Amino acid sequence: MQVQARVKDQTLINERRRQILEGAIQVFKKEGYHKATVREIAREAGIGLGSIYDYVHSKDDILFLFFENYAATFFEKVRSRASAVADPLRRLEITYQAFLEAAMELEDQVMLAYTQARYVKKDYLKVILKKESEIVEHFEGILRELGKGPFDPFLEANFLVYSGVFGVLRRWILKPRYSREEIIRYLAQTRIREVIRRIRAGE
């Protein structure tokens, strides 16, 4: 399932949707998801109200695009950095680092996608859950390559994904004390170190 556009130029679609997402973030921050209107988003994005419907049709479309952009950014980082890495432990480190970076780079989109997803229409929610499942499955596959240990690869993969967005979901209390880089570094070191400890405990 994809958000349908009325225009055919993919470059133009990508550029206009980038503007729309940036505008939507600002409006959602000020008005909240429920009170925000497409008219306000169009104004903030610098796009005419008639034109915005060439690229999205509703706030649900925008929320879906937040999560789609987040998942695509993660997998692109993984492909560019980890696809040629044979050692599964090193690949896990690179993949988790990429996941943390994607979440923090798109923190406003991730925050809105996770906190407001329950309000989108069911068809979109199914796709969002499927995309998140694909991220979990990616981690689970690497964990299974590492061999048997005293942990459940599926549960561990889910916890890695949850911990990966921890810095975003708790940013209101973390940001005054820690930089984005410090949060990423702490999570990357502690979570992977814990996985290694469990693997060694099972040897």
Whether residue 139 sits in one domain with residue 44: no
Distances (CA, A) of 151 to 2, 14, 60, 118: 36, 41, 37, 30
Please indicate, yes or no, whether residues 76 and 37 belong to a single structural domain of this protein. Answer: no
Contact 73, 105 (CB under 8 A): yes
| Domain finish residue from 37, 57, 77 | 57
197 and 142 part of one domain: yes
Which SS3 state, helix, strand or coil, does residue 75 take? helix
pTM reported for the whole predicted model: 0.81
User: Are 95 and 180 in a shared domain?
Assistant: yes
Q: Do 149 and 112 share a structural domain? A: yes
- What confidence tens digit (pLDDT) does each residue in 126-182 have? 888 888 899 899 999 999 998 766 778 999 999 999 988 888 888 889 989 999 999
- Structural domain count of the chain: 2
List of residues 6+ apart from 45 with CB closer than 8 A = 19, 20, 22, 23, 24, 52
Of 57, 81, 105, the residue that ends a domain is 57
Considering the domain architecture, whether residues 73 and 52 belong to the same structural domain is answered as no
Measure the CA–CA gap between 192 and 79, rounded to whole angstroms: 20
> For residue 153, what are the domain limits?
64-201
List the CATH number of the domain containing 127.
1.10.357.10
26-57: pLDDT as tens digits:
998 888 888 889 999 999 999 999 899 999 99
